[in-house]
Amino acid sequence: MRLRTVRERYRVGVRQLARELHIAPGFLSNWEAGCRAPAEPDVTRILGILRVSEVDFAQVMEDFRHLDSDVHTELITADRTPLLWAYEKVSRKIVEWAPRLPPDLFRTPDFARRTLGSHFLDPDEVDRQVFLQQAREDILTSEDGPEYTLFIGADALLPQGLSVDVAVDQVRNLLKLSQERRVIVRLVAADQQQLGAVDGFAFFHPDRARGATVVLKSWPCNVYFSSPSQLLRYRRIVRDLDGIALNATESFAAMRQTLSRLDTRVRDLAS
């Protein structure tokens, strides 16, 4: 469990917590995004201020102590191609868990602009990121691309605050991509989302000459894990997701039902 997840669970804002810690909000945001690593006393102080449960305290501290030399943090900048692209190109299999938002490869341009705009990027940088995202989508449709399994939470299927027209296009895009030969989309229903406290991640399985890697994608940083302990943990999470998610056929039907409801809302608004 990451610091941002536990902070949001206890409903404390970034500015409020930063004020309690006597640090700048941006400094706390960098800790949460993985751009900087807090010291262990800082982590325990944060958890004390949040008054977390013993269970959450133990989970956060366990995760923190797993951050060893097999961790690489990459700051996403306009002048550098993310390492993430290389993993997407060399992997034979990718498994992704998206609990709250559709992953970037599955986003429509309008949805991507909305999401990137929330990071206060200037319009030119937003356009650049959307263009690069569309270029990366080739791995989902290429005949020699990786096998891609997406576990998507009910909240990510229809995020709050979307306009109806953007939501319709986004669900249609998910339906279209789920029919690609090498793509499997599986929905985790809201009443089955026991893993809601687990942040989204992508598990890359390259060819046998390279080791597996887990990537936590959190703007403006990507954090890469390759230690055996972390890989084992995320393999178990993938196994748990496989046990609770709808199968591909059921997921497709559920997404079609969601699209039908959205189409009804569009007609009602137009009448």
Asked whether the predicted pLDDT for residue 68 surpasses 60, the reply is no
Neighbours of 63 (CB within 10 A): 17
HSE-up of 175 (CA within 13 Å, CB side)? Answer: 16
Which pLDDT does position 179 carry in this prediction? Answer: 95
User: DSSP states of the chain as a string?
Assistant: --HHHHHHHTT--HHHHHHHHTS-HHHHHHHHHTSSPPPHHHHHHHHHHHT--HHHHHHHHHHHHT--TTEEEEE--TTS--HHHHHHHHEEEEEEEESSS--GGG--HHHHHHHHHTTT--HHHHHHHHHHHHHHTHHHH-TTS-EEEEEEEHHHHS-TT--HHHHHHHHHHHHHHHTSTTEEEEEE-GGG-TTTTSPPEEEEEE-TTS--EEEEEETTEEEEE--HHHHHHHHHHHHHHHHHS--HHHHHHHHHHHHHHHHHHHHHHH-
Averaged pLDDT for residues 65-74: 64
- At 70, the pLDDT band (50, 70, 90 cuts) reads low
Asked whether the predicted pLDDT for residue 208 surpasses 80, the reply is no
Least confident of 9-13, 25-29, 36-40, 202-206: 36-40
- At 44, the pLDDT band (50, 70, 90 cuts) reads confident
Structure-model confidence comparison of residues 229 and 67, the more confident one:
229
Helices 123-136 and 109-117, packing angle to 10 deg: 140
Asked whether the predicted pLDDT for residue 174 surpasses 90, the reply is yes
One-letter amino acid for residue 199 of the chain: D
Which pLDDT does position 139 carry in this prediction? Answer: 85
Averaged pLDDT for residues 178-186: 95
Asked whether the predicted pLDDT for residue 144 surpasses 90, the reply is no
Which pLDDT does position 34 carry in this prediction? Answer: 63
Which pLDDT does position 150 carry in this prediction? Answer: 97
- At 251, the pLDDT band (50, 70, 90 cuts) reads very high
Asked whether the predicted pLDDT for residue 189 surpasses 70, the reply is yes
Which pLDDT does position 23 carry in this prediction? Answer: 86
Averaged pLDDT for residues 88-111: 91
Question: Tokens standing for 205?
Answer: 């399985």
